[in-house]
Amino acid sequence: MIYLDNAATTKMLEEGADLYRHYACHSFFNPSAGYGEAGEIKKDLQSVRKTILKRLDVSEGDIIFTGGATESNNLAIMGSRRNGKTEYIFSVGGHPSVYNVAKELEKSGFNVHFVDLQKNGQIDYDKLEKLLNDKTRLISIEHVSNETGAINDLKRIVMIRDKFAPKALIHVDGVQSFCKIGLSLNKVKVDFYSMSAHKFHGPKGVGGLYVRNVNNLKSIVYGGGQEEGYRSGTENVGGIIAMGLAVEKTDLEYNLEYVKSLKAKMITILSKDKHVHINDFDGSPYILSVWFENVNGETLMRAVANKGVIVGTGSACSSKKAGNRVLENIGFNKDQIKSHLRISFCADLSLQDIEKAGEILIETYNDIKARVI
């Protein structure tokens, strides 16, 4: 099998699975307990926090461990909301775990605005400027689009915030960027940054939220007061430790350059067919958006899966819903959206994998097209 849906999830490190088992079956103690063994577990969790903060290149703030990016996004948005005439700004291109939270805020009577996307997949920065005012409480933007790979300019967003609404908080959905593209939160001072372990070879069901100042956050999960009271519930110790290992094992610079070569190879192969259209948004090398004329993307996805090549049609969290909010907003028509596939890479792949997968995609596409036209 050649797996090219790494934006949906990645294979967990074998070492991480071994470490998870150790903490599940041997060092299984509850870190909130009062005896010495539990205290050692708590120290191990603190070590992972430091590892993540180091990867984010930030010298202030903390990490709150969560059950994944959906919870991290919910905590950042719902935990930072305040009553009164406060306003909230979101990207139309946000992941469902952000976009649908925004819609819930709107239903609850909060003043919510959405920023459209440009043709290059980035947010409309001029529109963002116009929406900001002294009532703006939160700006929530994806760093890298899970649909297109387009990279939003966080430095520019922070500069716009500082100029037009300096008291506003900034939440970044960093799920498709953490451990994939470089970022220094010492240089780009956002208030919240969400991450998910299974997007960078950690386990599913665990994630984190970077918080610059916990005074800007209120808990949305009540219970025993774990995670300094901001996320009650016994920590997923094995998952957190395995996530920390995945962070440590990531060679970001090497992976980035290598994955660029994989994406370039796939583009070269697919571009040989004039009916295959590359939507290269000059974004993350980990994600390639492409559409195949006159063939349904889901049909092609299922056909190549039967031949051992796994690709996606877009966000796995919204794959059962008709249409594509992100591509529609960029300007894709219905036929282009129906014919769309998302190919996403990781550093475990070889150039030979890409060559074989590209050939299978083209061959299968032409077989289907010959039958439907």
317 assigned to active site: yes
DSSP state of 198: G
Asked whether the predicted pLDDT for residue 318 surpasses 70, the reply is no
Q: What is the dihedral of CA 104, 158, 76, 131, to 10 degrees?
A: -20
Buried b / exposed e over 200-232, threshold 16 CB at 10 Å, is bbbbeebbbbbbbeeebbebbbeeeebbebbbe
Give the pLDDT confidence of 168-192 residue by residue, as tens digits: 999 999 999 999 999 999 999 999 9
DSSP state of 123: B
Give the pLDDT confidence of 205-218 residue by residue, as tens digits: 999 999 999 999 99
What mean pLDDT is predicted for residues 197-209? 98
What mean pLDDT is predicted for residues 243-249? 98
Binned at pLDDT 50, 70 and 90, residue 316 comes out as: low
Pairing of strands 309-310, 287-292: unpaired
| Active-site hit among 25, 179, 317, 346 | 317
Residue 321: the pLDDT is 55
In the chain, the percentage of residues whose pLDDT exceeds 70 is: 97
Backbone angles phi, psi at 121, to 5 degrees: 90, -15
Q: What is the pTM of this model?
A: 0.94
Residue 225: the pLDDT is 87
Domains of the chain, first to last: 2-9+251-372 (3.90.1150.10), 14-249 (3.40.640.10)
Q: How many CA atoms lie within 13 A of 134 on its CB side?
A: 0
CA 255, CA 50: separation in Å to the nearest integer? 22
Among the ranges given (200-214, 218-232, 358-372), the one the predictor scored with the smallest mean pLDDT: 218-232
Residue 100: the pLDDT is 97
Among the ranges given (27-41, 52-66, 255-269), the one the predictor scored with the smallest mean pLDDT: 27-41
Asked whether the predicted pLDDT for residue 319 surpasses 80, the reply is no
DSSP state of 231: S
